[in-house]
Structure formats: C-alpha cells, structure tokens
Amino acid sequence: MIYTITLNPAIDKTVLIDKFRVGEVNRILDSRIDAGGKGVNVSRVINQLGGKSMALGVLGENGAATIQNTLNMSGIDHYFVPVTGDVRVNLKIIDGQNQTNTDINEAGFPVSEETLAEVIYQVQSRIRYNDIVVLTGSLPPDVDPSLYRQWTKSFQENGARVFLDADREPFQLGIKSAPFLIKPNRFELEQFCRTPLPSLDQIIAVGKKLLDQGIRIILVSLGSDGALILAEDQIIRVEGISIQPKSTVGAGDAMLASFAFSLEQHQNYLEAARLASAVSTAKVLCPGSNPPDPAIIRQLLATRVVVYDYSNRTSS
C-alpha cells in the first residue's frame, strides 16, 4: 500500500495571462481551481495509473471541501485531521506567449504538536512491512524542520519504505535518516551541496555519496533535460522530451507517483524510469493540477521515451 502525507495542502488557482507584466494591470484569459498539495497530487496520479493509495495529513476547515470532494470523486481513500483555519491558496500564473510559469504560494497556518501526533498515529496504525510512505511538500509555519527526519526514522523502523521529496532544511535534515528514496531536482541538489552541478558526472558524484549514507534510490529530476536515477550499482539516464508545456505544476509529483506505483507493482528500475518519463511529460501537457491523461502516457511510452542504463551506456 502507498500512503501519501500532506501537512500543508493547498488549493491551486491557475490563471492564463498573455504577456504577463509586473507592476501593471493584467487581464486573466482563463482560470481554474484544483485540489493541491504535493501528497494530494501524488495520490491523484497513482489513482490515474490504476493504483491505490491513501492520502493523509492536515486540512483547514475553510476550503477543505475542494480537496475532499476531489479525492472522493476519484475514489481515493483519505484521512485528514481537521483544524481551524483556511486552506492556503497557491496562485499559478501561466504566460503562454512568453512561455513562463510563475508560482505565488501562501505559507499556510501553524499546526499544533497534538495535530501532528494525530497524523503520525493514523499512519503508524495502518502501515505494514514494505508499504511505501511518501513524505512530500512544505511544512506548515513553525513546524520543526527536522520533522521529516523523525518521521522517516519512525516509519522505516516499522518496515515501511519512505520516499522523501522536500527542499532546503527539511530535505537536508531528512536525508540523515536515510529514506528509501529521495527526489531532489537539480536546483535542490545544488542547494544541498552548496555548489553548481552543471554536468551529469557532478550530479552522479553527489548522488553516490548520498547512496553511501544508506539511501537506496535517488531520483533527480532535470526539467526539460529529463532525469537521472541512481540505485546501488545502477545509473539510469532518462532523456528529456521536447514539448510545449501547458502547466509545470505537479510534474515532479507525477514523476514521484509513477515511481512509487512502479515499485509497488514490482517493476525494475528501468521500467520505473520509463514510466516516470512518460507520466511527468504527460502531466505538463495537461492544464492546472489535473493528473495526466492515460492515453497520452501510453502514446509517449510507445513512441518517445528514451531511457539508458547509463552505467553501461546502453539504451532501452
């Protein structure tokens, strides 16, 4: 079973504005509202792939219906601890003419220790050996940045495999508990080691040091350049697919979701990498926070996905 945890969910409002201009009046051409938060996104993609997951976390009472209704309509099991407050709103500005995506994200509201204790209890009471627990997204304001480290240690002691997707201090502290899988992008990895990583060899060198700390899989998303997967003695290179994106919201979440789904289905890392490439590409071809279209995923798998076993320089 796959469990996703979202401690700082959001309502994503995506607006389309041609020639977006800072400091001036801009006219919205189109807009949409979606359930958001990285764990919620992961659960929605897993569901779209035909898999099962349960979404857990914390949810403010004002705005909760948007997220709960989306999950209910998709048949996704969920349990969110209700708290007083507003679900934060993240504004996504898409400028089709200038080909830019701008995110303006609210911070959310503080969450009490009692609420966090209830969330971890709900997860601990459900997980079984070899289940996957996805810890992803920002932490609420004033929450101890070492929370993901503490929870990773706790869940893995109970036999679960923890997938961590965070940035800055929660990521830096979280990897000290050696999650089963981590998913930094290139920028987050550069933040972690405090140096630019312009080449694949430099990324691989950093990744190998992290593997030596007990992490089993490192999934590095490279945007339009594809991705790198490092696992034990295997290095996998996923080539980027040239497309005109409609929205980059949730592309990394889609990649993480597909990898979790693949491992839950006992696929090997090359198969998981191929699916991750197709799913994350299909995601940016759909508007807002919508999960990707399965038909587009199948088309990409059949015609455009290129994956290499980079350690042996062979293609798949």
Mean pLDDT of the chain: 92
pLDDT tens digits, 52-85 = 999 999 999 999 999 999 999 999 999 999 999 8
Percent of the chain with pLDDT over 90: 78
Positive or negative: CA dihedral 160, 163, 169, 174: positive
Average of per-residue pLDDT across 248-259: 90
Confidence at residue 97, expressed as pLDDT on a 0 to 100 scale: 85
Q: Report pTM.
A: 0.93
Tokens in use for 286? 């759909």
Q: Band the pLDDT of 287: cuts 50, 70, 90.
A: confident
- Active-site residues, by number, are 253
pLDDT tens digits, 109-142 = 999 999 999 999 999 999 999 999 999 999 999 9
Give CA–CA dist 246/284, Å, rounded: 6
Percent of the chain with pLDDT over 70: 98
> How far out from the chain centre does Cα 85 lie?
24
For residue 311, pLDDT over 90 is answered with: no
Confidence at residue 249, expressed as pLDDT on a 0 to 100 scale: 78
pLDDT tens digits, 168-177 = 999 999 999 9
Give the total number of structural domains in the chain. 1
CATH assignment of the domain containing 47 = 3.40.1190.20
Structural domain of 77: 2-21+28-315
Q: Band the pLDDT of 101: cuts 50, 70, 90.
A: confident
Confidence at residue 228, expressed as pLDDT on a 0 to 100 scale: 94
For residue 161, pLDDT over 90 is answered with: yes
Confidence at residue 308, expressed as pLDDT on a 0 to 100 scale: 82
Confidence at residue 124, expressed as pLDDT on a 0 to 100 scale: 96
Give CA–CA dist 178/163, Å, rounded: 10
